Amino acid sequence: MTKTPIMTSVLAIIAMGAAGPVMAATSVQDALPATPGDPASDTPPPEGGNESGEDSQAAATDPLQPQGPLASRSFTPADFVQFAPQNALDMVRRIPGFTIQGGDDGSRGLGQAKQNVLINGQRVSGKSNDARDALSRISADAVERIDIVDGATLAIPGLSGQVANVIAKSGKWSGNFEYEPEIRRNHENLYSKFEVSASGAIGRNDVTVSLENDAGRQGHRGPEVRRDGNGQLLAITEEDATYFSDRPQLSASLSRMAGNGNLLNVNGSFQLVFFDRRIEGVAVNSDDAIVDELNLGGEDEWNYELGGDYEFALGGGRLKLIGLRRQEHSPTFSEFTRQLREPGSVVRGGRFEQEVDEAETILRSEYGFKALGGDMQWSLEGAYNSLDSEASLFLRDENGIEQPVALPGANARVEEKRAESIVTYGRPLGSDLNVQFGLGGEYSQISAGDLTRSFWRPKGSLTLAWTASDDLTVNAKIERRVDQLNFFDFLASVDVANDTDRSNNFNLVPPQRWRAELEFVQKLGAWGSITPEIRVAEISDIVDSIPVSPTEEALGNLDSAFVVQGMIEGTLLFDPIGWKGARLNLFGMVTDTSVEDPLTGLDRQISGIQRFYTNLDLRHDIPGSDWAWGGGMEYGRQAPTFRLDQWAHGYQTKPVAWLFVENKDVAGMTMRATVVNLLGTKDGFERIAYVDRRDGPVAFTEQWERSFGPIFRFSISGQL
């Protein structure tokens, strides 16, 4: 199928918006989630999960018939013709049994490789520039081939399991665009979501520039029911919530290879983040009194990142020097007011404001060389991170006038100076077995308020890759990992909407864990592939809510926690039964955790962890045509979020289901129409608050289910 490039004049059409689906969680999340209603968070409630209506990246998408063992395959552009890909990301998503993993998870520093995607044999440079972003900016015409290899066979520490190495050529300028509007019933439509990128050569320099706006217009509405500790009705509140966000970002990168093989990469990005939350409520109390409620929140952030690396030959190996600077300025606010509908009533409520400045500076070196029949690397990294917080709390007095209230522990500076050194060695132990192990340590100095402490932690890993047969590869890994503390966990915070707060705790220590995983990559011949995996982790000093006085709580460290997680993902092809061009991508995850509750002394789930998630995507590319259609569903459950005086739980009432139809050559563009939420699922939330502590009598309960209705999504993508 021949695609016609779209002229530059299309830029005027696409300047309004687009982006990709939300990534579903596929890894064990052992850290506490954001406190519900945290004014510093710009993430709205789930509103039906990812609402993607697309092939979820949590499972491999749009497979091809493999031509070799799963751990060693190569694909050329000819293998993807039936899918009419616009960029390298479209191609990688169509590889059976492969899932893009990793990315910027918010961790400080760079560390070893986390993403299972390489471009021309190199890690994706930078932190904000993750694999999906980088691949989406490479035109399909520039891709020569994609190799799937096992991470343990590469001289890149940190990689395990399947890794995609995208071989792309540079040359003439080309570009891609995507525009993704949404039409919604009873909520504001979305017209500003887009991405446009261009790449090419300027002399001997390969240059990529992109502009995108990851925008959202979300909302839901429905009644909230509040009852007292005996189950008697207190109030019913009809609520209408909207969450608007825009995240325009300009990014650029430059890569240059000298004649002597020296390699230079430079990248940078600048982003604005605008978020607004508005929840209007009308409550009818049990005595028929009517109360108007208003919950507002917002953020106006800017951030930038500048980074680069330079690799050159030195002695018997190659040395890479890496530097990165990132800064973020984030003013946020949260306000909640309520007023009786009666003469002479005054406004009640409060307002919390916070202005945060975060900065990160990283210097890293990696020296790789051949030794002892294998590949060895010595890495040394230094990082300096800081967070400055200025916060204010205002509560309305009996006359409805805002009065400032002292908030100890909310205004503070948190700093960390961290150094890490790891030596890694990898080699084949035979024709079908490869090993990679690393050993090192981390030193950190953390200052919070007037307290400064130092920590030394050992780190290491052992990775094995065994090609049991042409159809089966077994990957195993065990590691000792040091987690990073969230700087916000040190500080005091207030949720004025839910009338909760937490104190500061400058004595937090970084959690550590032993973690192991075992993965079986099984080729199913003409039927596709399947990959089951099990992960276990033992965590010490996990962060959770702890009592700091008879009436106060803060985030602190618990002794230990245990995690067991089972996962399965794969691609099933239906060509063997005569349904040509049809495939089903599947992903499933079940997680069980155990931690001793600091209040009751009983074992419970880790607060807020995802217990269950499944995603099914069906796609049928009709042979001999430009048409494709399909659908899917996703469903998940999370553990409750525990505080010392309450617990809360968000959920979906039903699976989120969608259908789509796609034409891959509309004047050279790919157009797709999707209907999301076919089953009418709703967002749910429940909370139980106690008189004093969670082991005492119940004070009140809250429960709501809000409808967000059907979503009509359109996407237009093509080449410039």
Per-residue pLDDT tens digits for 607-620: 999 999 999 999 99
- Across the chain, mean pLDDT equals 86
Q: What angle do CA 620, 623, 627 make, to 5 degrees?
A: 60
Answer yes or no: is 3 within a domain: no
pLDDT at 61: 31
Predicted confidence band of residue 8 (pLDDT cuts 50, 70, 90)? very low
> What does residue 369 show for φ and ψ, rounded to 5 degrees?
-160, 165
Structure tokens at 63: 């497979």
Domain assignment present for residue 194? The answer is: yes
Which residues span the domain enclosing 546? 8-719
117-119, strands of its sheet edge to edge: 73-75, 143-150, 162-168, 117-119, 122-123
State both tokens at 531.
Answer: 């990959």
For residues 436-465, b (16+ Cβ closer than 10 Å) or e, as one string?
bbbebebebebbbeeeeeeeebebbbbbbb
Identify the DSSP state of 139. Answer: B
What are the structure tokens assigned to 543, written together?
A: 């962060």
Residue 153 sits in a domain of what CATH number? 2.40.170.20
pLDDT beyond 80 at 45? no
pLDDT of residue 107: 66
**Above 50 in pLDDT, residue 37?**
no
Task: Note whether 545 and 554 are within 8 A (CB).
Answer: yes
Q: Which residues contact 625 (CB under 8 A, 6 or more apart)?
A: none
131 pLDDT band, cuts 50/70/90, is: confident
| CB 389, CB 411: distance < 8 Å | yes
Name the β-bridge partners of 592.
Answer: 564
| Pairing mode, strands 560-573 and 263-285 | unpaired
Lowest mean pLDDT: which of 21-35, 94-108, 653-667, 693-707? 21-35
Is 630 inside any structural domain? yes
**Amino acid code (one letter) for 406:** A
The answer to whether residue 39 scores a pLDDT higher than 50 is no
Distances 349 to 32, 254, 495, 542, 689 between C-alpha atoms, Å: 27, 51, 11, 34, 19
Would you say 528 and 571 are in contact if contact means Cβ atoms under 8 Å apart? yes
In the predicted structure, residue 291 carries a pLDDT above the cut 90: yes
Residue 2, domain member (yes or no): no
Give, in degrees to the nearest 5, the angle at Cα 406 between 497 and 385: 85
Confidence of residue 10 (pLDDT cuts 50, 70, 90): very low
The 10s digit of each residue's pLDDT in 62-111 is: 323 333 333 467 888 888 887 888 888 888 888 877 777 766 555 667 77
The partner residues of 656 in beta bridges, in order of sequence, read 634
Please state the domain count of the chain.
1
- CA-nearest of 108, 155, 128 to 385 is 108
**Would 204 be classed as within a structural domain?**
yes
Report whether pLDDT(334) > 60: yes
The beta-strand segments (E) located in 579-710 are: 582-596, 603-604, 610-621, 627-638, 641-642, 646-652, 656-666, 669-676, 682-690, 698-707
Helix (H) or strand (E) holding 210: strand 205-213
pLDDT-above-90 percentage for the chain: 65
Dihedrals phi, psi of 203, to nearest 5 degrees: 65, -125
DSSP tally for the chain: helices H, then strands E = 3, 40
Structural domain contains residue 177 = yes
Q: What is the pLDDT of residues 525-574, one digit of tens each?
A: 999 999 999 999 999 999 999 998 888 899 999 999 999 999 999 999 99
The CA distance from 139 to 176, in Å, is 7
pLDDT tens, position by position, 136-167:
888 888 888 888 887 767 767 767 677 888 88
Predicted pLDDT of residue 163? 83
The predicted model gives 1-26 an average pLDDT of 32
Predicted pLDDT of residue 91: 85
pLDDT recorded at residue 203: 87
Give me the residue label for tokens 């099914």. 616
Helix (H) or strand (E) holding 390: strand 374-396
Q: Is 668 exposed, middle or buried (0-12, 13-18, 19+ CB in 10 A)?
A: middle
Mind listing the pLDDT tens digit for each residue in 397-406?
A: 999 999 999 9
In the three-class reduction of DSSP (H, G, I as helix; E, B as strand; rest coil), residue 520 is classed as: strand
Q: Dmax over Cα atoms in the chain, in whole Å?
A: 86
Average pLDDT of span 681-686? 96
**Is the Cβ–Cβ distance between 302 and 269 less than 8 Å?**
no
Tell me the torsion sign for CA atoms 693, 696, 702, 705.
Answer: positive
CA–CA dist 228, 91 (Å, integer): 55
DSSP type of residue 268: E
More confident residue, 692 or 302: 302
What pLDDT score does 551 carry?
83
Q: 87 with 137: CB under 8 angstroms?
A: yes
Q: Half-sphere exposure (CA, 13 Å, Cβ side) for 260?
A: 7
Contacts of 295 (CB under 8 A, 6+ apart): 241, 277, 278, 279, 280, 281, 334, 335, 336, 497
pLDDT digits (tens, 9 = 90+) for 570-580: 999 999 999 99
The answer to whether position 1 is within a domain reads no
Does pLDDT of 385 surpass 50?
yes
Tens-digit pLDDT profile for residues 423-444: 999 999 988 999 999 999 999 9
Asked whether residue 590 carries a pLDDT value surpassing 90, the answer given is: yes
First to last CA, the chain: 17
Task: At 293, list the tokens.
Answer: 């409620």
